[in-house]
């Protein structure tokens, strides 16, 4: 099992987090961590989701891509989970 | 131009070409109804919001275009949810407009407040909560575009009451929402697909609702004939091939024809068109066509590889892919393969039932032969639905309307009504059961009011038959909570609503009652009392391989 970072660009509105987390809940995908911040003028947000890699990761990416509020999806190979964990540690201080 | 949000919604619906909407008004949609009062759009007042949702589905399922229903906040919206979930699982395009409490009251547990956005999120293709009337200029056309693009589905637009009354000034009308262009990237997949078909000795088309939705039925027949490829269909794909086409082997899966399941197991190539490897179709997945290569064609890329890995995934709608692959397919007869399949066709109990005039399957075949050639048939959910799938002579796409994915009892009557509103010159037949019929009974009032040309055939076995069947077969005959100890007088109920009723006698022995009900122009009910212990065969036990078909008691 290896941690993966999924990066999303999404439309920024109050319901968008429900759209993303709802997909994880109803399709029984795992979700270990979320980072989110608005982009530019606030019309879009960027999200980074930490997940455990398994054979369903490709299906997860396809399902995320279908959401109307999701503008783009990518797997960040260059931003490993250690950076993510480090950031969490800093936030919790 | 200046108008309020409600007037803007109605004008945008008119510009979208909407002629009819179904709904029930309430406090949070009064501004919308005031705008409808001044509109040429015809509003059909149903007796329950679920009825409104399913009537919109009846129109959408027969026309392929998004149909519209509306409900007020709170219970109005929650009552719509079953129809939305049903549309979502069967990929039916619809737009539901719901009223919401005023923005200032949202989140305060106001009267008739419910989180419609949150509740409808998992059962829609997409949903909107509109915060400003000006946003409607983009949201309404976008709702139609989303509902009809790619894999169709339901869209909810939740509009708070103050947004409906808010004034908007705008310079020009947006274009109506239309389906987006068909996504297509070749990447050499067509050549690979053609090669796999050429090299296959025993190919099969496994077709579903995607063929019907894309308008690919004629192309499927051409491809099947040109290359000698036999066809099996899911429940949602019935109608893509005529029931008596020599290349059509019938429905596969849990209650499919034995030859469909047996031929699938022998195939070396499965060409899956607009299907999703549903568990009722595949049976035990590991045993389903285990040795065959799979070409999976679907407009929804996430379906490819979701359940079964495809040897070749082709992302595109069935009609587009068939159009492109046809010129690359050779002319073959495949006599060897057809001979092998012919040897699998033995006289089965289910086939005998269709010929037995007093078996439910025989009664349904009789109705299908008596109804006009272009009749549309809707069913409810249960044994009568499976017998209809097996026995009704379905000749055209979009002429058989069933709740496939969600399996919603109460679907039949309102969907038949929506089909009748959309196809006023056609006969609509609704085949239902005594369990399902009572689940949206209130719409008989709407049916009588509009004098729709619908014949309801009620197969009355005094049970929730499919539950009783499974209790008998798999739960040691522990028949529990599936038998009605007392049934109402269905004819009297219909007559109470002002609908003519006939009794066809035990097992439909009084055929003239069926004939008269079918010939009647307007709403009619014919009650067919049937044996309460008859089972649907064949049946693959849930979770078993499709080769483990139970053929008879």
The tens digit of pLDDT for each residue in B358-408 reads 999 999 999 999 999 999 999 999 999 999 999 999 999 999 999 999 999
pLDDT at residue B186, rounded to an integer: 84
Residue B495: pLDDT above 90? yes
Q: Confirm or reject contact between B310 and chain A (CB < 8 A).
A: no
Question: Nearest chain A Cα to B306, which residue?
Answer: A59
Q: Chain A: give the shortest CA distance to residue B301, in Å.
A: 7
* Cβ-contact B52, B46 below 8 angstroms: yes
Residues of A in contact with B306 (CB under 8 A): 59
Which A-chain residues 5-44 have CB contacts (< 8 A) with chain B?
14-15, 18-19, 22, 26
Q: Confirm or reject contact between B300 and chain A (CB < 8 A).
A: yes
Question: Coil, strand or helix: which one is B25?
Answer: coil
Max Cα-Cα span within chain A: 38
* Cβ-contact B1, B170 below 8 angstroms: yes
- Return d(Cα B22, Cα B6) in angstroms, integer: 16
The tens digit of pLDDT for each residue in B463-486 reads 999 999 999 999 999 999 999 999
What is the pLDDT averaged over residues B407-422?
Answer: 98
Taking CB atoms and an 8 Å limit, are A62 and B302 in contact across chains? yes
Binning pLDDT at 50, 70 and 90, where does residue B137 land?
Answer: very high
Look over chain B and give the mean of its residue pLDDT values, rounded to a whole number: 97
∠B492-B497-B502 over CA atoms, to 5°? 45
Residue B492: pLDDT above 60? yes
The total domain count for chain A is: 1
The residues with which B293 forms a beta bridge, in sequence order, are: B269
Give the number of beta-carbon pairs within 8 Å between A and B. 28
Residues of A in contact with B122 (CB under 8 A): 22, 26
* Cβ-contact B209, B401 below 8 angstroms: no
Residue A84: pLDDT above 80? no
Q: Which of A14, A26, A59 sits opposite B122 (nearest CB)?
A: A26
- Return d(Cα B85, Cα B89) in angstroms, integer: 6
Q: Which of B125, B129, B306 sits opposite A15 (nearest CB)?
A: B129
Following DSSP, what letter does each residue of B282-308 receive, concatenated?
HBSGGGTTTTSEEEEEESSGGGTTTSS
Distance of CA B493 to the CA centre of its chain: 27
pLDDT at residue A80, rounded to an integer: 66
What is the pLDDT averaged over residues B428-441?
Answer: 98
As a residue count, chain B comes to: 553
What is the pLDDT averaged over residues B410-438?
Answer: 98
How far from each other are the two terminal CA atoms of chain B, in whole angstroms?
A: 70
pLDDT at residue B513, rounded to an integer: 98
Q: Chain B: give the shortest CA distance to residue A87, in Å.
A: 31
pLDDT at residue A1, rounded to an integer: 52
Distance of CA A22 to the CA centre of its chain: 12
Taking CB atoms and an 8 Å limit, are B146 and A26 in contact across chains? no
Q: Confirm or reject contact between B118 and chain A (CB < 8 A).
A: yes
Domains and CATH numbers, chain B: 2-169 (3.40.50.970), 189-344 (3.40.50.1220), 349-529 (3.40.50.970)
Question: To which H or E segment does residue B312 belong?
Answer: strand B312-315
Q: Chain B: give the shortest CA distance to residue A81, in Å.
A: 26
- The single residue listed with the structure tokens 């956005």 is B117
Residue A89: pLDDT above 90? no
Which B-chain residues 505-524 have CB contacts (< 8 A) with chain A?
none
Residue B217: pLDDT above 70? yes
pLDDT at residue B183, rounded to an integer: 77
Residue A26: pLDDT above 60? yes
Q: Which of A22, A59, A63 sits opposite B122 (nearest CB)?
A: A22
Q: Chain B: give the shortest CA distance to residue A60, in Å.
A: 9
Binning pLDDT at 50, 70 and 90, where does residue A79 land?
Answer: low
- The single residue listed with the structure tokens 């002579």 is B393
Taking CB atoms and an 8 Å limit, are B300 and A68 in contact across chains? no
**CATH number of the domain enclosing A26:** 3.30.70.260
The residues with which B377 forms a beta bridge, in sequence order, are: B400, B429
Question: Nearest chain B Cα to A13, which residue?
Answer: B129
Higher pLDDT, A1 or B416: B416
The tens digit of pLDDT for each residue in B62-119 reads 999 999 999 999 999 999 999 999 999 999 999 999 999 999 999 999 999 999 999 9
Q: Confirm or reject contact between B309 and chain A (CB < 8 A).
A: no
Structural domain of residue A85, as residue ranges? 3-92
Q: Confirm or reject contact between B306 and chain A (CB < 8 A).
A: yes
User: Where would I find the H helices in B451-510?
Assistant: 465-474, 490-496
Residue A55: pLDDT above 90? no
Taking CB atoms and an 8 Å limit, are B302 and A18 in contact across chains? no
Q: Confirm or reject contact between B146 and chain A (CB < 8 A).
A: yes
β-sheet with A33-39: strand ranges across: A33-39, A44-52, A3-11, A70-76
Residue A54: pLDDT above 90? no
Q: Exposed, middle or buried, B347 (CB in 10 Å: 0-12/13-18/19+)? A: exposed
Residues of B in contact with A69 (CB under 8 A): 126
Binning pLDDT at 50, 70 and 90, where does residue A2 land?
Answer: low
């Amino acid at each position: 099992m290896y941690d993966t970072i999924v990066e999303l660009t999404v439309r920024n509105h109050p319901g968008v987090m429900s759209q993303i987390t709802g997909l994880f809940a109803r399709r029984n995908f795992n979700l270990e961590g979320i980072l989110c911040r608005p982009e530019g003028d606030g019309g879009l947000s960027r999200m980074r989701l930490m997940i455990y890699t398994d054979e369903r990761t490709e299906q997860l990416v396809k399902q995320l891509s279908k959401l109307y509020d999701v503008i783009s999806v990518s797997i960040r190979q260059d931003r490993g989970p250690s950076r993510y964990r480090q950031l969490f540690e800093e936030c919790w201080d | 131009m200046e108008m309020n949000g409600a007037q803007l919604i109605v004008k945008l619906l008119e510009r979208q070409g909407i002629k009819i909407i179904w709904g029930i008004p309430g406090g949070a949609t009064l501004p919308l109804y005031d705008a409808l009062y001044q509109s040429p759009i015809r509003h059909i007042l149903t007796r329950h919001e679920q009825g409104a949702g399913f009537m919109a589905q009846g129109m959408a399922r027969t026309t392929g275009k998004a149909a519209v229903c509306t409900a007020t906040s709170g219970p109005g919206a929650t009552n719509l949810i079953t129809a939305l979930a049903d549309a979502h699982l069967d990929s039916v395009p619809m737009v539901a407009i719901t009223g919401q409490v005023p923005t200032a009251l949202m989140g305060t547990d106001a009267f008739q407040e419910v989180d419609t956005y949150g509740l409808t999120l998992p059962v829609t293709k997409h949903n909107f909560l509109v915060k400003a009337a000006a946003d409607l200029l983009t949201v309404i056309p976008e709702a139609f575009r989303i509902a009809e693009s790619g894999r169709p589905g339901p869209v909810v637009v939740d509009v708070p009451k103050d947004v409906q009354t808010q004034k908007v000034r705008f310079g020009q009308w947006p274009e109506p929402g239309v389906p987006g262009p068909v996504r297509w990237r070749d990447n050499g997949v067509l050549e690979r697909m053609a090669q796999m078909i050429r090299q296959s000795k025993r190919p099969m088309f496994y077709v579903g609702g995607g063929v019907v939705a894309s308008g690919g039925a004629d192309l499927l027949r051409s491809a099947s004939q040109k290359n000698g490829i036999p066809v099996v269909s899911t429940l949602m794909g019935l109608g893509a091939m005529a029931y008596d086409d020599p290349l059509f082997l019938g429905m596969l899966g849990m209650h499919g024809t034995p030859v469909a399941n047996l031929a699938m197991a022998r195939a070396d190539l499965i060409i899956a068109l607009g299907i999703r490897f549903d568990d009722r179709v595949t049976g035990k997945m590991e045993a389903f066509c285990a040795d065959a290569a799979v070409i999976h064609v679907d407009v929804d890329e996430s379906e490819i590889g979701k359940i079964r890995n495809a040897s070749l995934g082709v992302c595109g709608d069935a009609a587009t892919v068939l159009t492109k692959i046809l010129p690359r397919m050779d002319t073959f007869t495949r006599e060897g393969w057809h001979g092998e399949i012919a040897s699998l066709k033995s006289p089965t109990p289910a086939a005998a039932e269709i010929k037995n005039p007093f078996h439910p399957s025989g009664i349904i075949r009789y109705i299908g032969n008596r109804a006009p050639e272009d009749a549309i048939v809707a069913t409810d959910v249960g044994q009568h639905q499976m017998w209809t799938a097996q026995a009704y002579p379905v000749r055209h796409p979009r002429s058989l309307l069933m709740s496939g994915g969600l399996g919603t009892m109460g679907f039949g009557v309102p969907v038949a009504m929506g089909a009748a509103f959309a196809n006023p010159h056609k006969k609509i037949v609704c085949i239902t059961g005594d369990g399902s019929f009572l689940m949206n009974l209130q719409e008989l009032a709407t049916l009588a009011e509009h004098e729709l040309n619908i014949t309801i055939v009620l197969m009355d076995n005094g049970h929730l038959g499919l539950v009783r069947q499974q209790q008998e077969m798999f739960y040691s005959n522990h028949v529990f909570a599936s038998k009605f100890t007392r049934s109402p007088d269905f004819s009297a109920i219909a007559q109470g609503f002002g609908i003519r009723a006939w009794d066809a006698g035990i097992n439909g022995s009084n055929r003239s009652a069926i004939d008269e009900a079918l010939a009647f122009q307007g709403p009619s009910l014919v009650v067919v009392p049937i044996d309460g212990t008859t089972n649907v065969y064949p049946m693959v036990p849930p979770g078993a391989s499709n080769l483990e078909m139970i053929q008879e008691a």
